[in-house]
Amino acid sequence: MKLVYFGDVLGKSGRTALADHLPRVMDELQPDFVMANGENAAHGFGITEKICGQFFDMGIDVITTGNHAWDQREIINYIDTEPRLLRPLNYPELTPGNGSGVFEARNGAKVYVAQIMGRLFMDPLDDPFIAIDKALEKQELGKTFDCAVVDIHAEATSEKMAVGQYLNGRVSMVVGTHSHIPTADAQILSDGTAYQTDLGMCGDYDSVIGMKPSAAIGRFMKKMPAERLSPAEGVATLCGVYLETDATTGKATRIEPIRLGGKLAEQLPNS
């Protein structure tokens, strides 16, 4: 099967890039399943029910979040009613929403999606390795589901790579979000799991990880209350990854980056 996953959609420019370029991706790659990280979609901080609806109408099948999941308080009630909107699996047990789910792709395949959040330089959540182990303990790739994707939303590249190696052979793909910079290490690991340390963001790269430079620079230079960060408003680059899996085993057969529009060099896999 074919799957596309877009990195953190940041603010209006990121939403515009998704709306503008997704039709081309759908036409040329014809993915069976489409995902996007939406935790920065609402002016850089969180996501709203309205934006979720817009993403679903565009053809996004599952939206992931991360440490900014709760920035828009209206999402707290909505996430309990919308299984296609995920928050990290290793939040405490009583946290609203779900950290994983099984979804039906356009070709009828069963796709398991889970998100975990790292702990190095991040909030002190439950152990992400134990959380994903518990979620997968009664599941088997190629049997209980046809494809499995795990998002590791984390700051440290080492922690993301550790998760990739830990899940190697157990899921179709492990990819990172949160850093907003696309990494150049798309690969298939030794036991058949596709991996990329960070998908990058769907946002304006003439910025500081998607935010206007002046406020971001001020935070580094002054140890005092600073101007609130706000999204850069230039033309965004749509960043993500394209995955193909074996129909029998569910293991990866191909992974390639996607970059369309904006500042970064364009890359769109051949179908």
Q: Which residues are catalytic?
A: 68
How far apart (Å, rounded) are the C-alpha atoms in residues 59 and 135?
27
What SS3 class is residue 16?
Answer: helix
- Count Cβ atoms below 10 Å from residue 223 Cβ, excluding itself: 7
Dist CA 159 CA 120 (whole Å): 7
Q: Name the DSSP letter for residue 157.
A: H
CA triple 9-198-24, angle to 5 deg: 50
Task: Return the number of other C-beta atoms located less than 10 Å from residue 76's C-beta.
Answer: 13
Tell me, rounded to whole angstroms, the distance of Cα 141 from its chain centroid.
20
How far apart, in whole angstroms, are the C-alpha atoms of residue 122 and residue 112?
25
- Whole-Å CA distances, 24 to 44, 238, 261: 25, 12, 12
SS (H, E, C) 82-120: CCCEECCCCCCCCCCCECEEEEECCCCCEEEEEEEECCC
Which two tokens mark 98?
Answer: 């779900």
CA gap 182, 209 in Å, rounded: 11
